[in-house]
Structure 1
Amino acid sequence: MNAANGAAVVVGVDGSEPALRAVRLAAVEARRRHRPLRVVHGFIWPLLRVPVAPAAGGPPGGGLRHQAQELVAAAVAEAERVAPGLRVSGEIIDGQAAAVLVGESSTAAMIVLGDRGLGGFAALVLGSVAVQVAAYAGCPVVVARGTPRPSGPVVVGVDGSTLSRAAVEFAAEEAAVRGARLHAVHAYTHPRSSGPGDMQPLVYEEGQLRGEEDRILTAPLAGIAERHPGVPVTREVVHGRPVAVLTEASRTAQLVVVGAQGRGELIGLLLGSVSQGVLHHADCPVVVVRSPD
């Protein structure tokens, strides 16, 4: 996580309504964290060798680059409307949207983007840019989904992985700046194997299993009360599928936080099945947290 002083909240825009929702969310988030907001548009047309200047003899306000300038200016104005006094800047960067935002992530406090953009197919629940940025970004990625709520808990999914510890820490910070409760959720469906290639037991004792699942939830919460003393913490261990459990929790949450890749995911996956599932189905904004390294 890029927590250096002055690191901006970066929001990606493309002129779509989901992008404007992301701008409003990003403006509020930047104000909460006392950070500047940077509005960024990935301008792909020069890479495709498409003329971007006004056509000869056409109006001076024509051309693709002028259109991009207008949509960035509109997004900056919307952010300033939502959060008066916030430091907001806008920039057009030549490149494909996901690549531009991933590049921004190395110095950003967080990246915020809409769940779908102008280039997405109407039938897709989640756009490809959101998936790519969540998979590769070097900072937390916030996807503006569902219903923004001023109240309710910050929900974090815990699965015992290293990334879930990072997710818990980020969720606790979010709960602190929002004055919200932190609700840590661990969902399980069956006994776990102890390592790669191990067989799952055919017979197991439910009480012992429940104790093991309780420990998985408790471990990453160690020290949270000391680091964030004003944040109430509740814990929940649920027998069920993680995506379904977190989706249900999202119906009353301000925010759901998940690790980019969880325990048991294939090593080659940059974005795990649980994080993808939550991004597709959550009823509130979702944060995907990657390794802080």
Structure 2
Amino acid sequence: MINRATWERVDTVVDEYRRAAAGHPEALAQIALAELAEAVQQSNAIENSTLTLDDTERILAGLTPNGRRDLREVYEAKNLAAVTEDLLRGGEALSVDLLLRWHGMLLAGIRDDVAGRFRRGDEWVRVGGHLGANPAFVPSLIDDAFTRFQSEDALPDIERIAWFHCEFEVIHPFVDGNGRIGRVLINRQLQDVGLPPVIVRAHNRRVDYYPQLEEYARTNSHEGMTRLLIVLVLEALHKRVTLITSRRVIRLADWARAAGIGAASATNKARRQTIPAFRMRDRWMIDEEFAL
């Protein structure tokens, strides 16, 4: 169980974020757009895309990536960016129809035969030792997940979102694109409760991310995913508060050196979000004037 002190810390940072963000909608919009390529690259990398951040930025700018790249990976970057931009624009209520529209956009030109629809017939899927839900029951299971998500309003928002992500990935409703759409849904649900989007990182996915999904599949516990999402949300909040309020942002390593703190210790504090550090282009940054 997540202890009260953790939720109180989240509430404190959320309040700080809302005070800092008030009157700065353009800043929030530009921050989200600035991290678009990184969000796309990281989510695709979780699914084993080989595109670098530089490749992804070039593709989204209408240029060709460096070196020879698989055409599918180019489409994956363009399509996920289009879905993410649609998410950021908002306007349409979250629904199964929106979910299917985003899936159609994600797989357009990649798997048009399965784009924009749930698994059906004999379309079974397996991820390692996990078998997705029986295709015959996928639509009703997704309906049930949305209904439960909307009705569990006594739980903290982050916990509800973590549960929904676990349930969605265990159902694995699509032939392809489940992970990327699932992570898009996390950010849409965060957006709906007034919180910024997060980036689930590919680098430590076999330690930080996959085990939480496996834990839910085995035990029906979403606590591990909730803990992960809390840290990611804190990082996203700290990033926005810092960029809006700080005079200068510097590398965490430079801050640690000036503060007389070991680099490893500073990085560990950043990973646990006990200091307001955040990543930009996968590099830890912090307010130059932050003091412990």
TM-score of the pair, normalised by structure 2: 0.24
Q: Whose helix fraction is larger, Structure 1's or Structure 2's? A: 2
**CA radius of gyration, larger in:** 1
TM-score of the pair, normalised by structure 1: 0.24
For CA contacts below 8 A with separation 6 or more, give which structure has more relative contact order: 1
Q: Whose strand fraction is larger, Structure 1's or Structure 2's? A: 1
